[in-house]
Structures are given as C-alpha cells and as structure tokens.
Chains A and B, each alone.
Chain A
C-alpha cells in the first residue's frame, strides 16, 4: 500500500500495464518527454522508451485514427486527448469508427483502445478545457464511458479499461487529480467495468452521482447523518452502459432518488438515470426523482465557474426537497 493521489494512481496503472503487456502503447500530445500537461505519463517514456510512449503531431483526429490502425496491427493503444473539450476534432474516429468496428466486421475485428482525457470544472482553465461532455459519448453504441471518483477506482478502473477488448473512454476529473489522496495497493488490481458502487449505505434516499459529484454527495450524506437522515450514495463509475441493477436495487430500498451531474441538464447522464428509474422502478418511489445539474448554458470558463457548477448546497437542498416531498 502507498498513499497516492488520483493522478498518481493513474500513472501507476499506466506503468503496470506498459510493463505487463508489450503491445500496450501510450501516445498523444506532450505525453512523452513532458509526461503530459498534468504529468499523468511522467517518467513513462524514460522507463519504457520512445517506441512505447511517444508524442504525436498536434491533431486529435489523427490520434484517434492512429489508434484504430495500431489496434488493427495488434496493439493495445492508450491515447490521451489532452482535454475532453478537444474531442470534437476526433468524434468521427470515436463515434463513427472505433466504436463500430466490432459490429461492422461481424465480430471479426476489435478495438482494444482506451482513450484517456481530463475533464471537469472548477480549476479555472481556458475555454473548452473543462466541459463535461460525457453525455455526447454515452449515446455511442460499442463505447464504454468510465470515470473514477477516487484514487483506488482510478487505478483499478483504468487497468480494467486497458485490458478490455473494446473501446473505453476514460474520463479523469481535473479537480480530483491532486485534491484526493488514498492508500492503494502497489500491485495491479482491477475494479469491474459496468458496475456501479454503493460508496455509502443508507435507507432514506439514494444520491446517484459520478466523478467529483460523488465526493460532494458524500459530504451531504455526512451532514444529513447528523440530523438522523440515512443517505445512500451510488457511484456510477461506468456511465454508459449503466449498471441498472445497482441503481434500481438502491431505489427499491430507499424509495427516493436524486441524480447528480456536473454537466448541463439537457439529455444528460442524470436524465438517463431518472428515465431508468421511471421506466423500471417507478413503483418503488415515494417522491419524484430529483435532478441536480449545471444550467443549460455553455460552460462559463473563468470568473463564474463556481457559480455555474452544481455545489454541495444545491445537492443538499434537492435532497431535502425530495425527502420532504
């Protein structure tokens, strides 16, 4: 066991997977000598060589297409898209190409690609550097969208993603990179894909969240516990496809649910969770499903970020509202 930050856990996973499978390749913009703009790949080129960890020309579509070609030649590509806001440049390679290949080829070809990308607001980045775009990705058949909320999951989910034979979009929360530390095992371990995690058990209401919002939800749960309110918190971990069983089981127990996301409200992950509960768990409910999200505007980088992002007190207020409905 060692105390590791969220980003150190990610580096750790990358190092272990580079070491255990020589077909694993890491590439992207500035990931080589520079070790990534956030140092997620720090030291990996020095340890594994330029053949395994390398810089690409500055072109996201090229990085996506390169991954597909390398996968066809038997490699296990782990490309980095420097910021999630840059994926629009490579949406064809993700939505139009790699996610379709297993289907398109009748299962005769597969794409073991894990695209890593940082996202999430609150760190005062320039425009297009903090947007939560997971909703776009979640609608793509054949693609898993995975995001950890803590260092243990960051390492275990990333190892599972890299070892998986289908494409995974692995979202890393910028704000959590260095703000969280935890004791995690030094050796390789996996955290299952497609499985949500009940990070806190409770009986009165279920908060369903992911990434940084899990930590805010846990704080709300702790606060309400002092008032005798028992809050269950579910960390989705895999945003698409959803672990329906874990969500429904929790709602069946508590009878009340709030779905929380940092992204804009329209057509998001929380809407997907709410519709799942409406479709398959409506009769468990004693109150409507609550939703907490950012407003339906463009992400306002800079001064207004903290006003725009869903805050702990908004989660608390919505939780109380649904409890007292």
Chain B
C-alpha cells in the first residue's frame, strides 16, 4: 500500500506551473536582432523616434533626480532602467485610450498628453498638476498599489457599454502590486465582463526592498492572469520593440472585443524606490545590479541604430539639450503656479456645498483677504 501512487501528483503540477511563459524578444542585450520580421516592419526613422522616446525618459529622469535633490521637486519615483518597458508599451496606445497610471508612470502620462509642468506640480503637491483637460484621457497617478487596476476594469466596462470603437483602458502596476487583492479583482472583473483592458505589470525586481521571489511562489507574474481566464505574456522589458509589438498586439486584441490582456515586462529599477531616503545598497548587491545595468535598454537600441548609421553621439547630444531646455521651461512654468488657497480646496469638495463647507469658505475667505 505504501508504494501506491497518490491520486494526484501535486509536485508535478507545481513544477509545470508557469512553464509556458517565455519572454518575447526582438533585439537582444548584445543588440543582435533575434526577430528580423518585426524590425523590418519599421523604418529607420520610426526606430530613431523610439530611441528618442527612451532618451527623453532617461533625460527626464536625470533632471527630475537633480531637481528633487535641489528641493525643487517633491515626490519622485525614479524610472531609470524602465524606459523600454514604459515607452515601449505607452507608444503602442492611442491618445483616446484611457491611462490609469501609478506613481512611477509619470513619463507615460506626459507622453499621453500631460504637460511636463503639471507633472512637476503633482510632484510638489499642487492640485493644478491634477487638473486635466477633458481630452486628456487619464487619471492622476495612483498611490494606493493596485487601486488603479480595478478602476481600469470599470473604465473598460464603461467603454464597452458606451459601444466606443477602437478604445481601451490600460493600467500599470509593479511586481509588488501583483500581491494586492485589487490586482486580481481588476483582472477578474475585466475578464468576467470581457472588457477592453490592457494590464501591464512592470516587474522591476523589487517592491521597495522586497524582491520579486518573496512576493509569490509563482514562477512568473504573467501566469497570475491564467486564474482570471485572460491571456497573458512575458516580454523582455529591456527590449523596446518587443514591448511595443506585444502591447500593440494586446491592444488590438482587447479593442476588437476579445476581452482583457495582461503583459509582464521583465525590467529593473536601476535606482531607489523613491528619492525619499530609500537606499538599494541595503537590499541589493553590486553583483546582482551590474548585469542589469549592462542590460540597459538604451544601450542595445543606441548600438543597433548607430550600427545602422542613423544615430550618433552628436545627434544624441543635440536631442538631449533640446529635452533639457523643454524641462527647464517646464520648471519655470511650474514655479509660476499660484499659491494654493484653502477656499479653493473647499470649493472642490462637493458640487453643491453643505453648511460646513459654506461656513469654512467664509472663515477662510476672511483669513485669506488679510
């Protein structure tokens, strides 16, 4: 009896979980083309534009980092290392799509239409930074991890109910975010309603200091979508074209009425969690970091396009100077924002003002007119 095989081999089932996921790649870490068919779809001009998006994000990061250290920005979550993941996915979306971002998704928000000075105002804690025009289809950056996922499911259901053609909701979270209940609820709701949502998980290795392997026993984060009955894929998050092509395909699939999709990008957060005192040296080794730094998404595209003879150091320097000038102008514009008033805050609590709000407006008007 002791040798009898158990009715179920749980060990074998466990070992098979997540085996189907293999990261999609187009140009590898040594700038070798591994999928020529995809590369051939794009002209050199288009590929240069893609590289420029990443250089733009890197420059924005460098300036934001410096401005934070100078005390000229408030909250900032560094994006260095995630340029292919963020720009590759965002550039596959349309401006009419609805972006539900988290706090590390500021570059996507800006590319989606948020003026840079407003992003800076958000960082400083000025509400003007969150006043979006109606045709900016996005919400301000979400702070509560995962909350944007269920809201994205709601937006997607709204798109479906409105019968809007060729429109999706898309949202980002990180590897830590996949541990939240809201992450699963968002995917499960969107799946149950077959709503047009694209969920992007940027697996950058860490939730502040807790490594991905401690978040879950799952081999991949992509496989978490399987339980919700929605298709998912892993992609090399340092490979712009791979992320772009996968996201474009996901968008088309969702927009065609097939239901939601989830994408896991394998990337790395080069810097700290935020500039508010986090020090990765406390929880990461140089040995771990170095291969990721070598895998910088800019390196392979810069090399590939330089080899093609369409990009050069001079061109890059010229472009970076232009981006820096734009950022400088944005800082100036942000500096010109008026001081916030309590009366204005009180005006935006309710549309129809109850007594307490009316009384407090009167009180603060008296203080503010002094």
Chain A residues within CB distance 8 Å of chain B: 25, 51, 56-57, 59, 61-62, 64-75, 92-93, 96-97, 102-110, 141-142, 144, 164-166, 193-194, 238, 241-245
Contacts and interface: CB of A to CB of B under 8 A. Distances in A.
B147 interface: yes
Contact of A107 (B157, B169, B189, B348): B348
Chain B binding surface, main DSSP class: helix
Interface size class of B (residues with CB under 8 A): 35 or more
B337 to A, nearest CB: 11
Contact of A104 (B98, B140, B153): B140
Contacts of A242: 355-356
Which 8 residue pairs spanning A and B have beta carbons closest together?
A69-B154, A73-B158, A65-B150, A106-B131, A62-B185, A69-B155, A241-B354, A66-B154
A59 B98 CA distance: 23
Nearest to B197: A69
Contact of A67 (B154, B156, B169): B154
A59 B188 contact: yes
Instruction: Identify the interface centre among A102, A110, A241: most chain B CB within 10 Å of its CB.
Output: A241
B355 A65 contact: no
Instruction: Identify the interface centre among A62, A142, A165: most chain B CB within 10 Å of its CB.
Output: A62
B355 A194 contact: yes
Contacts of B318: none
Contact of B150 (A69, A73, A107, A166): A69
A141 B350 CA distance: 9
Interface string B101-134: 0000000000000000000000000011011111
A103 B151 contact: no
A168 B9 CA distance: 52
Nearest to A68: B151
Contacts of B133: 108
A107 B347 contact: yes
B151 A72 contact: yes
Nearest to B133: A108
B349 A72 contact: no
A144 B349 CA distance: 11
Given A74-B162, A96-B144, A57 B189 contact: yes
Contacts of A104: 127, 130, 140
A281 B161 CA distance: 51
Nearest to B130: A105
A241 B188 contact: no
A69 B349 CA distance: 19
Contact of B147 (A96, A106, A165, A245): A96
A96 B147 CA distance: 9
A97 B151 contact: yes
Contacts of A238: 354
